Amino acid sequence: MDILKGLNNMQSLAVTTTEGPLLILAGAGSGKTRTIIHRIAYILDSGLARPYEILALTFTNKAAQEMKNRIESFGIDYISDMWMGTFHSICVRILRRYAEYVGFDRSFTIYDDKDSEKVIKDCLAEMNISDKVISAKLAASVISKAKNSYISPEEFAQENNDTITSRHLSGIYKLYSEKLRESNAMDFDDLLFHTVTLLRTSDEALLYYQRRFKYVLVDEYQDTNPLQYEMTALIASGWGNLCVCGDDDQSIYSWRGADIQNILNFEEDFPNAQVIRLEQNYRSTRTILDAANSVIANNKGRKGKNLWTENERGEKIKIIATNRDLEEAEVIAAEILALRNSGISEDDIAVLYRMNSQSRNIEEGLSRKGINYRLVGSMSFYSRAEIKDIMAYLRLSLNPKDTVAFARAITKPKRGVGNVAMEKLSEYAQFKGYSIVEASLDAGNIPGIRSAVKESLIEFGKLISDIKILSDGKAPLPEIIKKAIYESGYMKMLKEENKEDSEGRIDNLGELLNAAEDFYKLSDDTTLEGYLEYVSLRDELESKEEEGTRTPQVSLMTLHHAKGLEYNYVFMAGMENGIFPLTRAQSEQSEMEEERRLCYVGMTRARKRLFMTYAKTRRVYNEFRNQEPSVYIDEIPEEYVNFVNLVKDERVIPNRPQRDYTAGGRLYAAKKEYTEPVRPAKPSSSKIKSGSFAPGDKVQHPAFGIGTVVSSVVQGGDSIITIAFAGVGIKKIMQGSVELKRM
């Protein structure tokens, strides 16, 4: 088997350089994932290590699974023994083995952001701190930053005691940590924090993993934070074979703790390290690549590389100046419609923007043209309220100390258990040394609680115990979840409340059972514990689309969500100073450089064609503002640009200085390549039947999905239909502008 077949010279060198510290500096579209996969396969095929002696750390479960599948395609056995996964999932595996060493039981629960926020709100209430003084979100952000910098509550208190606010935050951090321990729970930051603590304090644990893992690999190394850096360095220091792969020019996550210095200082941190640059790009045209190189070259904080490609020259980047943000959306829709009419699928097209708030105009512009789209990065399936409610029952069955899960489950559906009863239940549990579930089962002996509430608590405790019995008895996962859905009364509650979104929520619970069935059939670990870990750790962007029912869709997303993706045709909207780069970034060089890296990421998502758009006037916080083209546009050499100026009037807003409308300071020929966007002609009144859609009718909109008609009136020769869409809200739609299907 020729592992090196199909690799270029630098990729082959990265694959075969197996010993010692190695930095693979991989440019956008340079075959980074392919190189890592072949490297692991080469190590295994050469007998340098067995699968269980390799630790490979990624940032998404999707990436880890793809790598495993492709390594298996080489015919190498026992790949399932290899530890390959996200930092958080690997930390969970380590902590399940050594949880007692850091003061937890092995059955600890993993709290998500909302769970953590609930605990912090409890801390604020207990400390009599108003949410207006310190919000739960602010406290959560401060605590998260402290943990990712490996600062304990005690250390934080010592460093932050000069103001009332800082002392409050110190107290919240301390109390929050205590409550997590009492509930035998960890948040996502704790998974890393406690793993590093374990490796720092336990020679037994550290030596075990140092001896076990001969080779440690880290993907997307530019995105690692201080804790991930230390965890990696500690484990790899045994054999010294640490390979990291990443691109300093794509480091765009400093706001969530990523430290670009980890990759910039690699050779200093690991003496005798080798650096191999992957600079051949297989994705983009030469024009797109040369333009992106020109932009990123303006950054000073980078290691330096120059991407090149054997691909064709390709078309110039089309930069379009428009009068208004609304016109910008119309222009994008018109360009996409032209692409679609030329035979290009919507699946090959993406619209990228700096801020989520930019999507509204774009969505409406696409809807008016009847163009299907999907929002990437919107609320994931497992984040929906009804799913989290059922998960609370399941979590509680495994960890009866989980007070957050208890507080959620006991009120869904309502059982008459109010704040007073909850306080008395908690006090009784602490007095007896019981878990919250054990206290519920013994509610008959708790004074001060009404008899009806006692019965509800006992019944609830029995349900949780029954779920636990099913789980311990290795019952099929769907059977366990079905018990939680039906015997809790949750399904009955949804059917009886008959709200606008009840039907959709019921369908979601049905899909939850489908998902559990798939997991039960396909996963190696079919236990309830394994499923809850999977749900807690799965990536937000991962979603399963219904086979056979999906239509092509344009992808709409922020530039941050576009990282790791690629499309044939890419639009970058809102290329204006104050939007991209953000206003707050323009006074700090480090932030401007990160914004520039984000621009570089967006440009290099495009394979064939790249479009950039901006508006002369934009409405921000309901105020119209004159805008200027982004400084990053000025950094693209003119030879790579086809500029289209649709700006009619330089005096869009009075009493403001006039300026020649240029792309980054260069005045281009104001040559229009197409006329004003054509709006759909209104159908004649003879084609419209008054009341063709009646209140209560179910209809399907190509973008908003299924909704219920609220009203329908004839106006100006067309029908204006008001429709309520679940998860979207109420929309007024002109019937002649879009196809509505009666359900």
Mean pLDDT lowest for which of 164-168, 449-453, 470-474, 546-550? 546-550
Question: pLDDT tens digits, residue range 688-699?
Answer: 333 467 766 777
- For residue 104, the model assigns a pLDDT of 96
pLDDT band (50, 70, 90) for residue 709 = confident
Q: What is the mean pLDDT of residues 436-446?
A: 93
Q: What is the pLDDT of residues 587-607, one digit of tens each?
A: 889 999 999 999 999 999 999
- Residue 653 has what pLDDT? 34
Instruction: Report the pLDDT value the prediction gives residue 687, as an integer from 0 to 100.
Output: 29
Q: Which residues are catalytic?
A: 32-33, 219-220, 250, 605
Look up residue 320 and give its amino acid. Answer: I
What is the pLDDT averaged over residues 349-372?
Answer: 89
d(CA 438, CA 204): 35
Whether the pLDDT of residue 324 is over 60: the answer is yes
Phi-psi region of 257 (alpha: psi -120 to 50; beta: other; left: phi over 0): left
124: pLDDT strictly greater than 80: yes
pLDDT, tens digit (0-9, with 9 covering 90-100), for 381-403? 777 789 999 999 999 999 999 99
Return the higher-pLDDT residue of 686 and 216: 216
Q: In the 3-class helix/strand/coil scheme, how is 266-334 assigned residue by residue?
A: HHHHCCCCEEEEECECCCCCHHHHHHHHHHHCCCCCCCCCCCECCCCCCCCEEEEEEEEHHHHHHHHHH
Helix (H) or strand (E) holding 651: none
Q: pLDDT band for 545, please (50, 70, 90 cuts).
A: very low
pLDDT of residue 341: 94
d(CA 206, CA 719): 70
Q: What percent of the chain has pLDDT over 90?
A: 61
Please state the rounded mean pLDDT for residues 296-312.
Answer: 92
173 pLDDT above the threshold of 80: yes
CA nearest to 95, candidates 104, 83, 86, 87: 104
Q: Residue 625: its pLDDT value, please?
A: 85
What is the pTM assigned to this prediction? Answer: 0.72
**C-alpha dihedral sign at 493, 497, 498, 504:** negative
- pLDDT tens readout for residues 234-283: 999 999 999 999 999 999 988 888 899 999 999 999 989 999 999 999 99
Q: Is 612 helix (H, G, I), strand (E, B) or coil?
A: strand
pLDDT at 656: 29
Residues 6+ apart with CB under 8 A from 180: 111, 119, 186, 187, 190
| The pLDDT of residue 314 | 96
pLDDT digits (tens, 9 = 90+) for 406-422: 999 999 998 989 888 99
- pLDDT bracket for residue 719 (50, 70, 90): low
Least Cα distance to 243 among 273, 271, 268 occurs for: 273
Instruction: Using a pLDDT cut of 70, give the percent of the chain over it.
Output: 87
- CA separation for the pair 153, 165 (Å, rounded): 15
Residue with tokens 């909207």: 573
Nearest to 632 by CA among 665, 596, 658, 593: 596
pLDDT at 732: 63
Alpha helices in 371-489 (DSSP H): 385-398, 403-409, 419-432, 436-441, 451-472, 477-487
Calculate the alpha carbon distances from 602 to 247, 334, 363 in Å: 14, 21, 19
**Residue 677 pLDDT:** 36
Query: With 70 as the cut, is the pLDDT of residue 639 above it?
Result: yes
Reported confidence tier of residue 621, pLDDT bands at 50, 70, 90: low
pLDDT greater than 70 at residue 544? no
The residue-averaged pLDDT of 482-498 equals: 87
Residues 271-295 pLDDT 10s:
899 999 999 999 999 999 999 999 9
The 10s digit of each residue's pLDDT in 568-577 is 999 999 999 9
- The Cβ of residue 561 has, within 10 Å, a number of other Cβ atoms equal to 20
What pLDDT, on the 0 to 100 scale, is given for residue 679?
A: 33
**Cα separation, 580 vs 600, whole angstroms:** 12
The arithmetic mean of pLDDT across residues 716-721, rounded, is 57
Q: What is the pLDDT of residues 648-680, one digit of tens each?
A: 754 333 332 333 323 333 333 333 333 333 333
pLDDT at 649: 56
Give DSSP secondary structure letters for 539-563.
-TT---PPTTT----EEEEETTTTT
Q: What does the pLDDT read at residue 218? A: 96
Residue 118 pLDDT > 70, yes or no? yes
Q: How close are the terminal C-alpha atoms of the chain, in Å? A: 55
User: Within 10 A of 545 (CB to CB), how many other CB atoms are there?
Assistant: 9
